[in-house]
Amino acid sequence: MRQIGAQGKGVWAELVGEIEQASRGGKKVAVGFSGGADSVVLAEAAYRMGVKPLLFHFNHRWRGRVGDADERWVKAWGKKRGLRVVVGRAKQAGRTGEGEARVARWAFFQQAALKHKVGELWLAHHSDDQAETVFMQLLRGAGPDGLAGMAIRGKQAGLDVVRPLLGLSRDMVRRAAREEGLRWREDQTNHDGKGWRSRVRHKVLPYLSKVYGREVRGALCRAAEILGGEREYWEKEIGKVSSHPDVREWRKKAVAWQRRAIRIWLDRFGCSGASFAEVEGVRNSVVSGKSVKWQLRGGWVRRSQNKLFWTKDIGRIAKRV
């Protein structure tokens, strides 16, 4: 890809360099586009680089007329640049939990990517988002995968996901936007303190930095980078996992190996982000001496004749895979 639009050699040029390094080219690209500063910067940079991304905008319908105004603004932004905007809307108006909102947004991303044959979904997460995610995962009691946070390149919900801005801070992204004279929409729900992430961002992490005497976001991001390397190593060490693994072989392995292999196996069927309790339930199927069944989100695991089987719920119909 070529850079055709950076002005000067400030933060914008550095940001474009990060995007060029993360992107590989050759695939149809969509950008998750809220209209906020981060997504505007990413989409604008991609557009200037000649990528011509689709813009995926999801209206959560939390903010009534303001949210609808954001949607209109996004459509106008894309039209001005000749970029197609694909809009999804929550089924019901009104604020939901952050987890429910994330599930709805990702369901829209999946459907839109499949419909429009998108090869890569670019998201505008930066290092501040990474630090918040790692801290929140820590308080949930997450394992190494959860504490590894987000990767620059990876798979999520069956999509190839790229986060080119992950090495830059929120401040740097906004400085780049101001350098280029870009405008964006501010989502006031990011500042109202009602959401858990908002409280972590504006209250918890600043308080910890004050008490600790140094910025904690950098330390959290370094921890994520270290654990991300550990995750990459284990995935290569374990290798490809069979669709129906033999529990007799898995029983011979160390507990850490078993847990990692179970996560890789579940990811294969789209059951990513399994909780510790879910993984341990599956591991019980491995180490126990009898046939058992364990319920997970979206399906269940069954052991039969010393092999594991994943069964997916499709409405009221169960499909064995």
| pLDDT of amino acid 291 | 66
Under 8 Å CB-to-CB from 283, ≥6 apart: which residues?
255, 258, 259, 262
Beta bridge partners of 59: 89
CA 67, 72, 73, 79 dihedral sign is: positive
pLDDT in tens, the chain (321 residues): 333 344 446 899 999 999 999 988 788 999 999 999 999 999 999 999 999 999 999 999 888 899 999 999 999 999 999 999 999 999 888 777 777 888 899 999 999 999 999 999 999 999 999 999 999 999 988 888 889 999 999 888 778 999 999 999 999 999 999 999 999 998 777 666 677 888 999 999 999 999 999 999 999 999 999 999 998 998 899 988 999 999 999 999 999 999 999 988 988 887 777 788 889 999 998 988 666 788 887 788 999 889 999 987 644 444 444
Describe the crossing of helices 255-268 and 276-287 by its angle, rounded to 10 degrees: 110
| pLDDT of amino acid 300 | 86
Under 8 Å CB-to-CB from 133, ≥6 apart: which residues?
149, 150, 224
Under 8 Å CB-to-CB from 292, ≥6 apart: which residues?
284, 285, 302, 303
CA 54 – CA 31 distance, rounded (Å)? 6
| pLDDT of amino acid 8 | 45
Beta bridge partners of 29: 120
CA 120 – CA 107 distance, rounded (Å)? 15
Question: What domains are defined for the chain?
Answer: 11-205 (3.40.50.620), 239-320 (1.20.59.20)
Under 8 Å CB-to-CB from 210, ≥6 apart: which residues?
none
| pLDDT of amino acid 4 | 38
